[in-house]
Structure 1
Amino acid sequence: MRPLRGAGFPESLSAGRVAVRLEAEGREGISFDCRLGRCHNWTDEMGREGDTIWFTSGCGEGGISFCVAARVRISGGTVGIIGQTLTVENARNAEIYLAVETSFRHEDFVRACRDRLDRVWEKNYEEIRSAHCRDYRKLFGRLELAFAQEDPGLEALPVDERLQAVKEGKEDIGLVSLYFQYGRYLLIASSREGSLPANLQGIWNESLTPPWDSKFTININTEMNYWIAESGNLAECHLPLFELLERIKENGKETARRMYGCRGSVAHHNTDIYADTAPQDLCITSTFWVMGEAWLATHVWEHYLYTKDKDFLEKHFDILEQSVSFFYDFLTEGPDGTLVTSPTISPENTYRTKDGKEGHLCEGATMDVEILQELFLCYIGACGVLGKEEARIRKAQEVCSRFPKLKTGRYGQLLEWMEDYEEPEPGHRHISHLYGVYPGTTLTWQETPELMRAARRSLDRRLENGGGHTGWSRAWIIGLWAHFGEGEKVYENLQALLAKGTFPNLMDNHPMGDGFVFQIDGNLGAAAAVLEMLVLSQQGRVVLLPALPEKLNGGSVCGICLKGGASLSMRWHEGRVTWLKLDAKDEFKAQLEVNGTEESIALAAGESLERTY
């Protein structure tokens, strides 16, 4: 084979247009054939027109159809079309231009695809490459992270060799920062304005029959995909989730009315690109759970807290409104006067009663209570910001006051169900009842210390019984340890994730059958957890280095976003902050804790605060 150099770039990460450049090394030119297609036994229609080849196909009756088109531009040599194949002979270099479109957004998707190709053809490769780099850098370059203990010598090694060394018990601090930035890269590449949200595999699915249909599981996985978006300074990457959520809201109104006779909107544990909201699958431990849309709705308030974008909050306020309205009708009053979900489940888990029977359905699972508390607090906060009438706020506050109190059990653990059941699988991958610790905000050491101790005991029990065996579960565990303030546990589980939950290319793995499959949530959830160990930002408090491991006791970060509308840069040495800078994008007020000392901070929009310690 003749030596070649090549690179390919999308014009932008949401343009649907790609350019690939191939260059010959040495005197001989390059020759190749370019043909579009996929695996055999599919009904593909191929064609040519002028200097363009294209093919269209679909996914069966009622499925999505698509079109791909290509042209080649060369320097030297010749290019032609034989049948449906582009042929290049003896070129010094060749540039392949590709465009793609589907029937999901365009009725005449073939014409839309050809128009895309015409637009990219008007530019040269260097213009496209430069546009791509600008588009990527404006997002990726916002946040930098480095640890003082990183070994530059290890950075020259291939990633698979570095991971193998970690599996053998060796230290590689640089892998932590690399894994973190890799997570940000994955979100930038898979979730951009005008695209669909990142699904279980982000956008990296090679199969026509992928695990779990490569869609959106909304009892943890989709939500985890976006934990890094705001704090990781990638707020724009969060927007595709809200576009999907608007469609979920509309479909969920029909589901709420027809299934439950309720107002408002509801979604269950799974959805897809069509924003399906009805129960999916035949798995009793997953299917009958009405909290999917409620959890997603809290992301609306989360985005506002970081960006202070009031127009955004007004635009998507109805997502919160419709979700809250559903529970006004759906909640059931118990004998003690509390309001609970019924029937429900604790996602994908099973309990065992005193007489040895195993069950799934229950009333008022702990996670439901915690999500409801979070949802109603988000709704009340949004009503206040937008100046909604007091009657709405009072009604929400009254309902919120009637949610059940959380309970502890015989092992000192936080109960997952209202009863102190035994667990057939105490090391279960889901840690649903700790939602209130993280990503929720209702359980904290300041406000609920006894429940935090119980939640910590629950996490211990999960790990003592083999928990954390999926990548995404381990990522959640890392975030929980950060909120418990236990840096050494954070580091221990980061190492476990790298050693046991990561493919050689840094993608997160998930056990399936006798092997493993890729799931993106572990990558993105762990990236978020790294920031949680560096900064705690919630309920008007900002705590720096709340869970810093000894092995990471020196370093710097630039560009972490904080709730309230500010960004933070800081340096630390021997576990203590030595310098910080706050830049307020909006009026910013917080209780700031640095090196164990707390002070009140108030900055005007555009104002900065810089301190040396």
Structure 2
Amino acid sequence: MIRAEMIPRHGTHSLTPADTWAFGHMTGNGEMGAIQYGPPEQEKFVFTHAELFLPLGSPNHIPDMAPYLDDVRTISRSQGYRAGHDYFIRKGEELGHTIVNTDPFHPALTLVIEQDDGAGAEAYCRSVDFATGEIRSSSGASERKLFVSRPDGCVLLNISSDCPMPEVRLFIEEEDHPLLHTEFAYKATEWSGVHTYTHGGGYKSRIRVEHNGASELEKGQLVISGAEEIVLKITAAPETGRIKPFPEGTYEECFERHKREHAALFFKASLDLNGGERRSWTGEALLQEVKETGLLHPALIEKCYDAGRYMFLCSAGARPPNLQGIWTGTFDPPWSSDYTMDTNVQLAMASVFSGNMLHGMEPYTKLLESYMDDFRYNARQMFGCRGILSGVCASSNGRHLHWGDSSWGDRECDTFFGAFWTCGAGWLAHWLYEYYVYTGDRAYLQDHALPFMKEAILFYEDFLFEEKGQLVFLPSYSAENGIAANSTMDIAVLQELLTNAITACSQLGVEGVNVQRWQELLGKLPPYLLDADGSLKEWAVADHEENHNHRHFSHLYPLFQSYAFSPEETPELWSAAKKTFENKLKHWLYNPAADTSSHGRMHAALCAARLGRGDVIADSMKMMLAGGAVYPSFMTAHYDHHEVFNVDANGAFPELIHQTVLFSLPGRIELLPALPEEMKKGTVKGMRCRGQLTVRQLEWDAQIGRIYLVIQSEMEQEVVFHIRQQGWLMNEGAGTEWSVKIPAHEPVQFEWRRSYADGGHAWQCTPGGGLADKRSGR
């Protein structure tokens, strides 16, 4: 019989051990992470630290490529864009450059617990509670519990039993890596590790063992006999960091302190879709149901939402989430588990604002600012420009080293053209400016967002050239799908960057001369081009064909990221984007021969949210859940069949769910923009909106036609409420839009009911008053 506490309301559990670390349960405090996996008789706990990247000793010098830019442009126009790229790569090789992999993220250490209570896997259960961050596993009479303490900055692991445990063996798994040398000093109750990198630097680790039994050291293994409880306290830190003192007190006392802090973060936002008894199903059972039946149950959506916020809360602290969040069980993770900045970091950060996790912007900002000197170096060495240039990949440094000769197939998109990725800094700046849009923090805007944006624009001022009154992006790379001139994403990112910088300067009353120059640049951007079928082209040039069978949705950036397209303001481009989206659905998302990239599915779903396509959102989720792109822990994989543990899809899930029920722009709220059939009734709490608004509560029931909203503003402002769904009116005589003055710091309630042929109702509740019945005018 499984104890009730092993089945968390917010979290997941399993009745079988995890065979590999990627299937394990995970927790973290933003600085350290922990993974639990393995059979109960030999359970393993992997501990990580967000700042541990293994120095490979690779070259970190970019040759001076600036003299070849004009030749690249000439060759691109006379011999073709790929010829221009091949020339650039060849010149780089002549100067000694080959593609350089980033330093990989790696585990700090792995603790093994050997224990045999005779129960084996038959009485086994393991769980992770997203609301507390505690991992538990039990078999027979013994139980293991673990959390990574937020207030105390270390891992606490408890091994206990109702009766004395005959023998428990604890030891550190040896890691024989040529680039790492480890020495442990063992004392009776404490182990200290010094871990030295071959190419400089390293880290420290420390483990304290407290128990009420007898113990002895046997060849590096601590053997404890007769104990009813064993408590381990574990920490690790870079050699330049400080190993914090271990907390005093019992496991339960330390856990209560931690739980209060973690739960306060977790419950800042929540989703309730009336998941019912399936909330108590195992992760495996929920995923098996959607695989066998195609049923996307509300309980499954709730799990994905909670897991997305949990991943971010565990991973964001010392740094933002990397490709694997804050977890890995290998020294050779795919793509180095680095910060991949042509879509993955951006998706991992997708829910930081609407998910009410604003603390996650501090590590994101610090990381970007720590890379600034390298970004300047990139711009200077690659293209001879001022300002900043972000490469595709970064980890222990931000240098643009990951480019070179790299092809794996015959299609253009089977060649990596990352040398020509120029819009990265502009895309990263999106979050810096959005922080101001969500919070109104003028000091952050002035001290962090605007300086970064100014340097990103400065790069473009040097890099772009003008022809016939229009700026030209050449070379121009549309992420992983080819090169040409004037990629739509390059244009869209610079348009957003310039617009935001101009608005920021207007708000702050600064940079008058720069603003004038930026406005001129904005007016010279090349126009977007439409294909023969009226769809938006991926490159705003006539000499490059479209490839719709690809995982990236780069040219729909104005739809899913900058929100520059709308049916009201840009009807032609909105229509063109819809046609492009349909092409992408046909040739990639619903193409059984296409790859199964999770980040592509997430961007497809985010585009669908803007276009009111709840059906596509549901399909994207079903594909991932049924195909094995989601583990039973509800962490995500990069591909189906659990291929490559990768958390950027986790990062996007809460934002996606929010956009199905509410989309915000400053001073404007759209209700139920893309509600899937599977989400016809539910409640969201704590969601943040652009314009310094917070949703205290949003309830909807599409079947009976009711929306109830409690919203609070940090300032007095006019807000336009809008709905596109058929049958809804926002206010009597106002149709589908209603402008309302919202007071500052005071929750305001609204209730709407869908109008029917016999006359419906639109309701408003003002602060301190009761519901006022207002006829809809139908």
Task: Say whether the 8 Å CA contact 2:667–2:717 is kept in structure 1.
Answer: no
Q: Which residue of structure 2 lines up, in the alignment, with residue 403 of structure 1?
A: 525
Q: Which residue of structure 2 lines up, in the alignment, with residue 96 of structure 1?
A: 232
Give the Å deviation of 1:293: 1.2
- Structure 2 gap ranges (5+): 1-115, 118-140, 407-415, 590-594, 731-736, 753-778
Task: Say whether the 8 Å CA contact 2:161–2:229 is kept in structure 1.
Answer: yes
The answer as to 2:307 corresponding to 1:175 is no
Q: Which residue of structure 2 lines up, in the alignment, with residue 185 of structure 1?
A: 310
Q: Which residue of structure 2 lines up, in the alignment, with residue 428 of structure 1?
A: 550
Task: Say whether the 8 Å CA contact 1:347–1:430 is kept in structure 2.
Answer: yes
Give the Å deviation of 1:53: 1.0
Q: Which residue of structure 1 lines up, in the alignment, with residue 505 of structure 2?
A: 383
Distance 1:123 1:588 in 2: 49
Give the Å deviation of 1:368: 0.2
Equivalent in 223, 237, 241 of residue 364 of structure 2 = 241
Task: Say whether the 8 Å CA contact 1:24–1:30 is kept in structure 2.
Answer: no
Distance 1:287 1:527 in 2: 33
Task: Say whether the 8 Å CA contact 2:480–2:552 is kept in structure 1.
Answer: yes
Distance 2:715 2:685 in 1: 18
Distance 1:506 1:388 in 2: 46
**How many pairs align?**
583
Q: Which residue of structure 1 lines up, in the alignment, with residue 171 of structure 2?
A: 35
CA change 1:311–1:179 in 2 (3 A) is same
CA change 1:577–1:440 in 2 (3 A) is farther
Task: Say whether the 8 Å CA contact 2:630–2:642 is kept in structure 1.
Answer: no
Distance 1:302 1:97 in 2: 39
Give the Å deviation of 1:441: 1.6
The answer as to 2:730 corresponding to 1:606 is no
Once the two structures are overlaid, the 10-residue window that deviates more, 501-510 or 470-479, is 501-510
Task: Say whether the 8 Å CA contact 1:186–1:202 is kept in structure 2.
Answer: yes
Equivalent in 108, 122, 128 of residue 254 of structure 2 = 128
Q: Which residue of structure 2 lines up, in the alignment, with residue 201 of structure 1?
A: 324
Distance 2:204 2:173 in 1: 10
2:327 partner SS: coil
Equivalent in 251, 275, 291 of residue 423 of structure 2 = 291
1:100 partner SS: strand
Equivalent in 722, 727, 741 of residue 593 of structure 1 = 722
Equivalent in 461, 474, 477 of residue 342 of structure 1 = 474
Distance 1:588 1:50 in 2: 64
Equivalent in 196, 200, 203 of residue 66 of structure 1 = 203
Equivalent in 394, 397, 409 of residue 516 of structure 2 = 394
CA change 1:38–1:456 in 2 (3 A) is farther
Aligned pairs (5 A) from 1:418-457: 418-420=540-542, 425-457=547-579
Q: Which residue of structure 2 lines up, in the alignment, with residue 573 of structure 1?
A: 701
CA change 1:526–1:11 in 2 (3 A) is closer
The answer as to 2:171 corresponding to 1:46 is no
Task: Say whether the 8 Å CA contact 2:665–2:690 is kept in structure 1.
Answer: yes
Equivalent in 258, 270, 276 of residue 381 of structure 2 = 258
Q: Which residue of structure 2 lines up, in the alignment, with residue 502 of structure 1?
A: 630
Q: Give the aligned CA root-mean-square deviation in angstroms.
A: 2.2
Equivalent in 315, 331, 341 of residue 218 of structure 1 = 341
Equivalent in 302, 310, 315 of residue 434 of structure 2 = 302
Once the two structures are overlaid, the 10-residue window that deviates more, 579-588 or 403-412, is 579-588
The answer as to 2:612 corresponding to 1:485 is yes
CA change 1:479–1:61 in 2 (3 A) is same
Q: Which residue of structure 2 lines up, in the alignment, with residue 11 of structure 1?
A: 149
Distance 1:154 1:420 in 2: 53
CA change 1:424–1:386 in 2 (3 A) is closer
1:442 partner SS: coil
Q: Which residue of structure 1 lines up, in the alignment, with residue 55 of structure 2?
A: none
1:547 partner SS: coil
Distance 1:72 1:494 in 2: 44
Task: Say whether the 8 Å CA contact 2:155–2:235 is kept in structure 1.
Answer: yes
Alignment-mate amino acid for residue 507 of structure 1? M
Aligned pairs (5 A) from 1:508-519: 508-511=636-639, 516-519=643-646
Give CA deviations for 1:58-97 in whole Å, capped at 9, x if unaligned: 34213x412211111123x224545644332211211111
Give the Å deviation of 1:425: 4.6
Distance 1:271 1:246 in 2: 13
1:349 partner SS: coil
Give the Å deviation of 1:220: 0.9
Distance 2:265 2:447 in 1: 24
Give the Å deviation of 1:452: 1.5
Give CA deviations for 1:368-416 in whole Å, capped at 9, x if unaligned: 0000011111211221222214222222111111111111102221100
2:347 partner SS: helix
Distance 1:388 1:30 in 2: 72
CA change 1:444–1:80 in 2 (3 A) is same
Q: Which residue of structure 2 lines up, in the alignment, with residue 357 of structure 1?
A: none
Distance 2:545 2:600 in 1: 18
The alignment-based identity, stated in percent, is 26
Give CA deviations for 1:17-57 in whole Å, capped at 9, x if unaligned: 111111112x3335323223433355321113564212222
Give CA deviations for 1:176-214 in whole Å, capped at 9, x if unaligned: 12111110100101112xx12111111222121111111
Once the two structures are overlaid, the 10-residue window that deviates more, 90-99 or 1-10, is 1-10
The answer as to 2:662 corresponding to 1:535 is yes
Distance 1:349 1:448 in 2: 26
Distance 1:420 1:137 in 2: 54
Q: Which residue of structure 1 lines up, in the alignment, with residue 580 of structure 2?
A: 458
Q: Which residue of structure 1 lines up, in the alignment, with residue 23 of structure 2?
A: none
Alignment-mate amino acid for residue 599 of structure 2? W
Task: Say whether the 8 Å CA contact 2:343–2:599 is kept in structure 1.
Answer: no
Give CA deviations for 1:282-325 in whole Å, capped at 9, x if unaligned: 44433321111111012111111112222222220211111111
Q: Which structure has the greater CA radius of gyration?
A: 2
Give the Å deviation of 1:224: 1.0
Alignment-mate amino acid for residue 20 of structure 1? L
Give the Å deviation of 1:278: 4.8
Once the two structures are overlaid, the 10-residue window that deviates more, 181-190 or 495-504, is 495-504
Alignment-mate amino acid for residue 326 of structure 1? F
TM-score by length of 2: 0.72
CA change 1:545–1:30 in 2 (3 A) is farther
The answer as to 2:452 corresponding to 1:327 is no
Once the two structures are overlaid, the 10-residue window that deviates more, 3-12 or 589-598, is 589-598
TM-score by length of 1: 0.90
CA change 1:515–1:188 in 2 (3 A) is closer
Distance 2:433 2:647 in 1: 24
Task: Say whether the 8 Å CA contact 1:36–1:55 is kept in structure 2.
Answer: no
Equivalent in 19, 23, 28 of residue 160 of structure 2 = 23
Distance 1:180 1:44 in 2: 39
CA change 1:261–1:338 in 2 (3 A) is same
Once the two structures are overlaid, the 10-residue window that deviates more, 302-311 or 164-173, is 164-173
Give CA deviations for 1:480-531 in whole Å, capped at 9, x if unaligned: 001011222222222223222323332222239x971121111222331111
Give the Å deviation of 1:434: 0.3
Task: Say whether the 8 Å CA contact 2:527–2:540 is kept in structure 1.
Answer: no
Task: Say whether the 8 Å CA contact 1:23–1:30 is kept in structure 2.
Answer: no
